[in-house]
Amino acid sequence: MNASYYFSLLLCAVLSLSAFSENSTPPTVKEKPGITEISEVPWVPSPPASTPKIVYGDDDRIDLYEESDPERARLAYATCAFIDISRMSKKQDGSWRLDSPSAHIRNGFPPCDGEPIANQPAASYCSGFLAGYDIVVTAGHCYNASYFSNTVIVFGFHMMNETTAQLSFREDQVYHGVEIISHFGTGTRDHCVLRLDRPVTASGVQPVKLRRYGDIQLGEFLGVIGYPSGLPLKIAFGNTYVRSISNQDFFVANLDTFGGNSGSPVFNAETGYVEGILVRGGNDYVYGDGCFRSNVVGNDQDRGEDVTRSSIFASFVPDFSSSTGALGLNSTHFGCDDEIVITLMDMDLANFGITSVVVETTNNDREEVDLFEDMNMPGLFSGSIHTGTESVVPNSAILEVGHGDTVHVTYFDEEDDSGNPAQSEITAEIDCIPPMLANVRVSFLGTTQAQIEFNTDEIAKGIVHYGTSCDALSQQTPAENTTDHRIALNNLAAGKRYYFTVEAQDVAGNSSYNDNGGDCFNFVTYTQQNHFTEYFHTQNPVDIEYSQITFVPVDTADFYQACFERIEEFPVPLAGELIPLKDDSFHEVRLPNGITLPFYGIEYDRFFIGSNGYLSFREGSTDYNSVPSQHFSVPRISAAMCDLNPEARGEIYVTRLSDRYVVTFDHVPEYDWFDSYLPENSHSFQIELFYSGIIRINLRELTTDRLITGLSAGVGAPRIFTSVNTDSYRHCESLSYDGSCHSADIDEDWRISLSELLRVIQLFHSRTYSCNAATEDGYQPGPGNQDCFPHNSDYNTQDWKLSLSELLRLIQIYNATGYYASPDTEDGFAIVP
């Protein structure tokens, strides 16, 4: 990056910080939140470091085993870690183990001597907390629907003593997300409210309470609990307080937090209520002498840490403090042989012990169900009733139902928040028919990953049961509720055969299975695979400016072969439709007239232009962190994946040509914390998507020092990811291909030379041609023996003469960089542009 650009940013930072007095209002937020990147360096337990660290004043962080306050320990139990599933393995008994905790490495640097808690393992990339029985809240930049199958939500990742981390977890401590209830991925309202695949039943884990009304005040004391830098859970209550309340969506505090704390609950130190979630902050570490140290500032120095107010998301979470009775059910749909679990929250009934509700169906059954109070949470009641399909007998303790019935639950509240009698109701549907399964297939196969797809005739949760024997399918991977199921299997062994069956479970719990007639489906993972992705950072500087990367589809484990060469300008001039993208946004491009674009073997009828330097398939993306976990989360072509801001400057064009789509980013700057956007902050690149499946990335100026370039099949980060060296790809003139060369390619170099073209023109002018094994290409002009295979240019139809259109096709190949065998074209060959 240009040195003057760095100097200017540094100068702006100094001037910005020096302009504030102790009591002044912090600047308008320009920082972007980031997820914690977990290193690939294995963790090795070692003696603890003894030197304390200072963040804002004293370091207030302690481990769970050090916490003596039972109320704060209770809050800690409700805090959860977001961990990439590739680091976890599920055992036959349902328990889980964190197989690959990492050493505490930041940006490739180890901790300096004396850095506290540097000996602990890192595993989680973000934090969150339990806000409802099956509802977790985290930061919006930490989680979205694309993480359902590749992220697990873990309760209980903590240190048991100074040197021992909890790495094994019961089944009731590990969950998946299945529904996004509310989400803002960035900006001042950054948050995510998500529903888990089942209610949390882990011992000691109870939902925490949120501030729902009123505003926190300046100087109020706070605490935060989470997973700083991916380390085991830390509790930080101390001299931490609110520093600014000038923004209605978030407040600023001097919390001792780091990147992995994103999504952490921030508690009011006096009430224990959640005041908000940690989403942004100052620089976590400083680097020097080949290592990193924690950033050291005073309590009122630096910019502070930003906390999204709980009032932004509280309406999406059940209220556990209201006097108005609030009913809940364990599902919106139930089967004909099922258990309906009813919960009621009414603080007026705290310590009453028991209450009741009325349950009715549209087929005229009526039952009264007793609800019993949870002694650990006064005012919270629960009870259940089973469904059946016998004749209706009211007050029989069995709710008789039929397919299509509606269940009504009614609670008669003697006194609501206003002091008046009230009636609370909730309904559910009865569904007794299991979903139908179809089209089971393996849509992607790698060395440590596979993707299974299938369809159902109704919305259902897809589950893949898999293992190395058809008789022992001990592992399973659930996914979201949908009709088009796409489930990634991670953490597989390379070069090994796996067997699998699929299950679909609708929202009522009805299940159907497909085990391939008892034989199980199966696949064999590849022994090696190129992921075609380079991760540029401080220890791997960007070196691909003014270059071109071409990816050509091949029928191998890699799916593509790549070549690299230097360029001076874009091959396609700026033209077409101007796309006015905002910061962290995307634009959908639908392909016309039945045109599709193949990518990793799947045909897509649309693609999405992401403002942060990439194109994605299947869904739009606003990811802006230049880390492999985000790059690999969706099918994606990353030209320069980094935090760009086209809203500030620059232009984005999409151009449609006869054989391709072209997307060009021209002079788009990286997001600037200080809003200065200097001229040197500029990124220009172009992505060409050919209908034949060829992909070409053209890179011009790139001034960031951290980005990702490459391809992603969208099945999550591979368990073993090795960054490639892009500029070591072979030169495009030396590409070789599978299959037989074109008849005209006499020297078999996958290009048509002028002399080779002239030879075919000679055959064209002879009106007919014939076989002759003695010639260099095996053919001769004029009539003769026609017992050999016709010339490849003679394809429409094969009549032993070349038409003008057939000759023009060869001229098209001659004018291209090269060609390769492709069964999808009329002549069996595709061009390399």
The tens digit of pLDDT for each residue in 429-449 reads 999 999 999 999 999 999 999
Query: Mean pLDDT over all residues of the chain?
Result: 85
Q: What is the pLDDT of residue 92?
A: 82
Residue 213 has pLDDT above 90, yes or no: no
Q: What is the pLDDT of residue 47?
A: 42
Q: What is the pLDDT of residue 122?
A: 84
**Nearest-angstrom CA–CA distance, 247 and 664:** 36
Name which residue leads in pLDDT, 683 or 741: 683
Secondary structure element (H or E) that encloses residue 76, with its range: helix 70-77
Q: Residue 239 — very low, low, confident or very high, per pLDDT cuts 50/70/90?
A: confident
Q: Residue 78 — very low, low, confident or very high, per pLDDT cuts 50/70/90?
A: very high
- The tokens of 757 are what? 């073209």
Across 580-599, average pLDDT:
92
Residue 152 has pLDDT above 90, yes or no: yes
Smallest CA-to-CA distance from 191 within 85, 46, 312 is with 312
Q: What is the pLDDT of residue 624?
A: 87
Residue 387 has pLDDT above 70, yes or no: yes
Helix (H, G, I), strand (E, B) or coil at 262: coil
The residue to which tokens 């992505």 are assigned: 687
What the chain holds in terms of domains, given with CATH numbers, is 53-315 (2.40.10.120), 326-430 (2.60.40), 439-524 (2.60.40.10), 533-734 (no CATH), 754-832 (no CATH)
**Nearest-angstrom CA–CA distance, 508 and 433:** 9
**Nearest-angstrom CA–CA distance, 53 and 58:** 7
Pair 252, 266: CB distance under 8 Å: no
Across 8-22, average pLDDT:
34
Tens digit of each residue's pLDDT (9 = 90 or more) over 798-816:
899 999 999 999 999 999 8
Tens digit of each residue's pLDDT (9 = 90 or more) over 732-786:
876 666 667 899 999 878 889 999 999 999 999 998 999 998 899 999 999 999 8
Bond before 797 cis per omega within 30 degrees: yes
Smallest CA-to-CA distance from 544 within 704, 428, 431, 676 is with 704
**Nearest-angstrom CA–CA distance, 574 and 595:** 23
Q: Residue 163 — very low, low, confident or very high, per pLDDT cuts 50/70/90?
A: confident
Q: Which strands form 577-578's sheet, in the order they lie side by side?
A: 560-566, 547-553, 695-702, 683-690, 660-668, 651-656, 577-578
Tens digit of each residue's pLDDT (9 = 90 or more) over 243-291:
999 999 999 998 865 556 889 999 999 999 999 999 876 555 565 666 7
Tallying the residues shown for the chain, one arrives at 833
E-state strands within 19-99: 54-55, 57-58, 61-63, 79-84, 88-90, 96-98
Q: What is the pLDDT of residue 174?
A: 96
Residue 85 has pLDDT above 90, yes or no: no
**Nearest-angstrom CA–CA distance, 109 and 115:** 12
CA distances (Å), 593 to each of 190, 396, 596, 663, in order? 39, 61, 9, 20
Helix (H, G, I), strand (E, B) or coil at 772: coil
**Nearest-angstrom CA–CA distance, 675 and 677:** 6
Q: Do the bridges between strand 305-309 and strand 274-280 make them parallel or antiparallel, or are there none, so unpaired? A: antiparallel
Residue 400 has pLDDT above 90, yes or no: yes
Q: Which strands form 124-132's sheet, in the order they lie side by side?
A: 174-175, 151-155, 79-84, 124-132, 135-138, 191-196, 177-184
Q: What is the pLDDT of residue 34?
A: 57
Residue 166 has pLDDT above 50, yes or no: yes
Secondary structure element (H or E) that encloses residue 758, with its range: helix 754-765
Percent of the chain scored above 90 by pLDDT? 55
Q: What is the pLDDT of residue 53?
A: 29
Q: What is the pLDDT of residue 417?
A: 66
Q: What is the pLDDT of residue 13?
A: 34
Q: What is the pLDDT of residue 20?
A: 32
Q: What is the pLDDT of residue 15?
A: 33
Q: What is the pLDDT of residue 162?
A: 86
Q: What is the pLDDT of residue 32?
A: 52
Smallest CA-to-CA distance from 711 within 642, 634, 643, 659 is with 634
Q: Residue 302 — very low, low, confident or very high, per pLDDT cuts 50/70/90?
A: low
Q: What is the pLDDT of residue 208?
A: 93
Tens digit of each residue's pLDDT (9 = 90 or more) over 502-543:
999 998 989 999 999 999 999 999 988 899 999 998 889 999
DSSP state, residue 314:
G
Q: What is the pLDDT of residue 30?
A: 43
Q: What is the pLDDT of residue 9?
A: 35
**Nearest-angstrom CA–CA distance, 148 and 152:** 8
Taking phi over 0 as left and psi of -120 to 50 as alpha, with beta for the rest, 206 belongs to beta
